[in-house]
Structure 1
Amino acid sequence: MKFGTAQGTIAINTPSRTQLFRTLAERFSAGDGFALATLNLDHLTKLPLDAEFAAAYQAHDLIVADGRPVVWLTRLSGQQSVELVPGSDLILPLCDLAAKHGVSVALVGSSEAALAGAAAALQTRVPDLRIDYVKSPPLGFDPSGAEAASILAEVAASGARLCLIALGAPKQELFAARGRTLAPTVGFASIGAGLDFLSGHQTRAPAFMRKLPLEWLWRIFQSPARMVPRYAKCFAILPALTLQAWRQR
């Protein structure tokens, strides 16, 4: 499906997990960077209203479907092969692939405590992984500012060639898009709350709720003040997106 944004349209261009990891392995082997975005309904509420966010998405090499509504909408439009690829589920496989290719990792975002916990968890679960850079930007961090440029330079200088970004949307996508220019040999993957889940600073929904799928309900119970408005906006755009998907068949 072609999703409308403030800067034209975007679409899922990497429909399966198999294709994603084949492409990433090729990039690692060739020494090429990339930017990986995980498209969900929250992003789709923002993209038509935020030209900078939309332009950042356009700069991403790889876009996967993070969220069942995005999968359903894409399939409804006629693209039947698309699979669910949640960003939080990508962290360990990405790090495992990086370790196999001798690629070191940078962690950017979240909090210092969460990053320390995530780094420890990753080292335990992927023993051959090398983490060469860890940075928690301060509150109010501007991904378009001078500090972001400095962090990107530090990431590149560290030797890391995979950067996991946990800044939330749209900051993480803006940071990744800028990284494609300032650190072109680094692969950037925006993974939202994934490092917080890995470190235990947030509790992810149980597997049965994710399968149903009711993870959104779990997140509402955990953080109602933040999540109720977010999901209200998500549900509000579903009817129009469904109609658009049907018309694109």
Structure 2
Amino acid sequence: MHGGSSSEHSLLGILISDYSFSDLVSFISEAIQSGQKAHIITLNPEMVARQATDDEFYQALHSADLRIVDGNGILVAARILGITIQHRIPGVELMEELLRIGQEKSWSFYFLGSSPEIVTRLVKNLEIHASKTIISGYHHGYFQDSLPIIEDINQSKPDILLVGLGSPRQELWIHKNRNLLQASIMIGIGGSFDVLCGDKKRAPSLFRKMKLEWLYRIASEPHRLKRVVPAFFRFGWMVLKERLGIK
């Protein structure tokens, strides 16, 4: 199931798969065809910082089948540490690409997360603009009890389960329920539902080109600061310690 060793790198003790979009799509196609399960994590600096201090999240992160680079900070850290990582696949682009390819390959999707309005609007949008998309079900993210949701997912056995509960909740949820879920590919994709609905704007292309998408997001959602800033400094310190060989 795993790609060749040339595309795997260890960064701060985390095994990262340096997959291009096409590598990732072949990995996903193979898993779906052979009926295998795979939990794919789109990794950002905040997650790297969290797993260093949070045991439960550490378990979820390290036991996933694939960790691909989402946040640009990971690429910067890799450069500082002399590791060459070529590819970065932002969660929202991954979701768009899977939905596009899914129409050709007849993959079925289940959407879990966001508010009732947003997830409903996302599904309606897909029905109108991407009518070949097979939607096996959807549910909002404001739930306490997972069992009815797991039952709903298992009735339709989706090929791809997209979980937009925000990190770390989505990774923990997939990790905890993985063995109960009858879905092949499981991916936590943060706020991508909101972006694809047009509710949150993605950073303008200039910001994306300059790799400042994170700055745009913080400016447009200042409440993220109190979470992101400490994580950013923790991540920076982890990279620095590694670079200087401080234990």
State the TM-score, normalized to the length of structure 1.
0.86
Q: State the distance in 1 between where 2:212 and 2:81 align.
A: 24
Cα deviations across residues 151-209 of structure 1 (Å, max 9, x unaligned)?
12321212312111100011100122134211254211111000001112222211211
Q: State the distance in 2 between where 1:14 and 1:114 align.
A: 32
2:227 aligns with: 230
Q: Specify every segment of 5 or more residues in structure 2 that has no aligned partner in the other structure, as ranges.
A: 1-8
Moved more, 19-28 or 175-184: 175-184
- 2:236 is aligned, of 219, 226, 239, to 239
Q: State the distance in 2 between where 1:160 and 1:233 align.
A: 37
Q: Specify every segment of 5 or more residues in structure 1 that has no aligned partner in the other structure, as ranges.
A: 142-146
- 2:178 is aligned, of 167, 177, 180, to 180
Cα deviations across residues 39-86 of structure 1 (Å, max 9, x unaligned)?
101212211121111111122111111111101222443432431111
Aligned partner of 1:223: which letter? E
Q: State the distance in 2 between where 1:65 and 1:241 align.
A: 17
Task: Call closer, same or farther: CA 1:245–1:99 in 2, change over 3 Å.
Answer: farther
1:164 aligns with: 162
Task: Call closer, same or farther: CA 1:237–1:14 in 2, change over 3 Å.
Answer: same
2:105 aligns with: 101
Deviation of the 1:241 alpha carbon: 3.1
Work out the number of aligned pairs and report it. 237
Whether 1:84 aligns to 2:88 is: yes
State the TM-score, normalized to the length of structure 2.
0.86
Identity rate, percent: 25
Deviation of the 1:126 alpha carbon: 2.9
Q: State the distance in 1 between where 2:171 and 2:88 align.
A: 19
1:65 aligns with: 69
Whether 1:34 aligns to 2:31 is: no
CA contact (8 A) 2:42 2:90 kept: yes
Q: State the distance in 2 between where 1:78 and 1:163 align.
A: 35
Task: Call closer, same or farther: CA 1:246–1:17 in 2, change over 3 Å.
Answer: farther
Cα deviations across residues 90-127 of structure 1 (Å, max 9, x unaligned)?
11111223233322110001011110121123334433
CA contact (8 A) 1:105 1:161 kept: yes
2:207 aligns with: 209
- Report matched runs for 1:10-29 at 5 Å: 10-29=14-33
2:52 aligns with: 48
Cα deviations across residues 192-246 of structure 1 (Å, max 9, x unaligned)?
000001112222211211221222222222221x222123113312432333553
Task: Call closer, same or farther: CA 1:3–1:81 in 2, change over 3 Å.
Answer: closer
Task: Call closer, same or farther: CA 1:17–1:155 in 2, change over 3 Å.
Answer: same
Partner-residue secondary structure (3-state), 1:188: strand
Moved more, 175-184 or 189-198: 175-184
Partner-residue secondary structure (3-state), 2:201: coil
Q: State the distance in 2 between where 1:82 and 1:149 align.
A: 40
Q: State the distance in 1 between where 2:34 and 2:244 align.
A: 40
